[in-house]
Amino acid sequence: MKQKYLIYSALVIFSTILFACGDSKKEAKDNDNGQVDTTSQEAIVEKELTIEEKVNEYKEVTLNPDISGLSDNQKKMLGFLFQAADLIDEIFWMENYGDKKELFGKITNDFEAKFAAINYGPWDFLRGMKPFVEGYEKQPLGANFYPADIKYLEYVDMKFEDKYSMFTVLKRDDKGNLYTLPYHKAFKAQVEKISDLLKKAAAVADDPQFKKYLELKAKSFLTDDYLESDLAWMDLKNNKIDFIAGPIDDEVDRFLNTKTAHIAYILLKDTEWENKLSEIQKSIPDIIKNLPVDASAKKLIPVSKNEIEVFNVVYYAGYANAGSKTISLFHPRDGRVHMEKGNKKLMFYNATKAKFDNILKPIADLFVANSDKVTFDAFFLNNLFYEVADAIDINNTVKGEKVKDVLKGNFNTMNGLRADVLRLYIMTEYLKSIKASEDEFAANYATFFSNILRSVRFGAAHAQGISNVICFYYFTDAGAINRNKNGKYEINVEKMKNSVTQFATEVLTIFTSGDLKGAQKLIDEKGNIQPTLQKDLMKIMEAGIPRDIYFKQGPQVLGL
């Protein structure tokens, strides 16, 4: 099973190499979901900020969910999980940069030190990994997963089959030849300690299913085989605490988007919000089955199980804590798990609330007419529907081609756009199904639009930024969103409903037919920021609205 998975990964990577250019412009993680891009469009024009101003673009948020309802054993388990997460943090430093102590030894400015801690290195995640510490060039495309001087053809010529693995780093020997090193050997000191800590956590776990999961997770760190632990995680039902950890996200590897960076989340279940979402969960499969494309295309669209869970985040570590912060995700990423058990959509209530209060609502107050309609509940649902949409992977065209290969360098932008448009379509159909009022539609659309402005700030050199720029101009060109004489935007609900269906059909058709020309035309016509929007985005910056958040977190914050 594992061998087949390796071969599949090899085929995907080889097709990527065929279309990769030598100076890829891929950018790092977006504000919420980690999409990357291969386009060469430029970011928003902005003044050069001082290092102090860059630090101040992040708003500090305290992660202190209520743990008073946890048992003594659960609190003891949290202690072991915090220690394991800190070791994962160490691993990510090595993956993204290298020797953390060596970097901080070169830094004398307190603001540089704080910004390096936020970015896990001397490169700015929100600005295309440009350096902010003197003496550094832009981050190598392969981060620290590969030698900084690696070339594509050199990689192709390597004889090591596991070069394709998501769980190996590449090194050079004394003669300069490339070789592979599996994660469990490259990070041996850390993973052995992590495994031991997870066994200790399992020993005090109250929930038998969570105990089994932690035991399997402890084993997986020593073998780089995460299938069994992922399957066990899908079976979890009654655990109050969750721990998602391991090499999961491939966005840091901009060389081939193959090597997975280590992340860790410690989570506390929010059963109240989960219960609120139970009815929504039931309606989603039927909406997906009836997406607005023809019958042959519908066969290409997977309808996986849509398990939705809501948590308050206790701790972010590793890539999850670098730069912009995730407020939702779907997990696991392994297609074998999807085929057997589906996946889960995880919503982070407290982190979402922090972004709404500190970023989204101030933007809405600045630019949205009747901004009182922009609500946290609508923002939460918007992010929920995004995770549902993002999990609808369309891998093949009706001709049997790989969508990623056919769309080439436009794939990442179009993939981000697919999730954005389907999010809006699923939300619209859900609101229709419950016979929502016009005010409810307006609230959800106004919140979606405010979120576009929030994401567009990340620029047109960024996949999620471009996809939101395209959304902005699609709906304004359709008259669904209009800028009034006071410089505020108004939503035309009826035109928005109609435009959503048309847009979803257009984007889905590009994917299922492999329409490269259609994708390029859409990006060329609507993917560039025009002067009026540029000025509006500058107003957001001038208003001092944060770009993202960072956390005061850990056992001391919780009183442990």
CB atoms near residue 401 (< 10 Å): 14
pLDDT range class, residue 89, cuts 50, 70, 90: very high
| Listed residue (255, 250, 253) closest to 154, CA to CA | 255
What's the confidence (pLDDT) of residue 29? 40
What's the confidence (pLDDT) of residue 395? 82
For 45, which DSSP code? P
pLDDT range class, residue 363, cuts 50, 70, 90: very high
Average pLDDT over residues 435-456: 92
What's the confidence (pLDDT) of residue 285? 84
Distances from the Cα of 55 to the Cαs of 49, 58, 120, 122, in angstroms?
10, 6, 13, 13
pLDDT range class, residue 458, cuts 50, 70, 90: low
Could you give the CA distance from residue 387 to residue 330 in angstroms, rounded to a whole number?
6
pLDDT in tens, 199-209: 999 999 999 99
What's the confidence (pLDDT) of residue 42? 43
DSSP for 377-405, written as a single string: HHHHHHHHHHHHHHT----B-TTS-BHHH
Average pLDDT over residues 515-537: 92
The SS3 of residue 262 is strand
**Sheet of 343-348: strands edge to edge?**
241-249, 261-269, 306-318, 343-348, 328-331
Instruction: Decide: 423 and 433 in contact? Cβ < 8 Å.
Output: no
Q: Return mean pLDDT, the chain.
A: 87
More confident residue, 1 or 90: 90
Which residue's entry shows tokens 């957001």?
540
Distances from the Cα of 537 to the Cαs of 455, 488, 553, in angstroms?
10, 13, 31
Distances from the Cα of 550 to the Cαs of 127, 189, 331, in angstroms?
17, 28, 23
Asked which of 27-31, 121-125, 356-360 is least confident by mean pLDDT, the reply is: 27-31
pLDDT range class, residue 490, cuts 50, 70, 90: very high
Average pLDDT over residues 75-92: 98
What's the confidence (pLDDT) of residue 54? 94
DSSP H helical ranges for 237-310: 271-289, 295-298
For 36, which DSSP code? -
What's the confidence (pLDDT) of residue 410? 87
pTM attached to this predicted model: 0.84
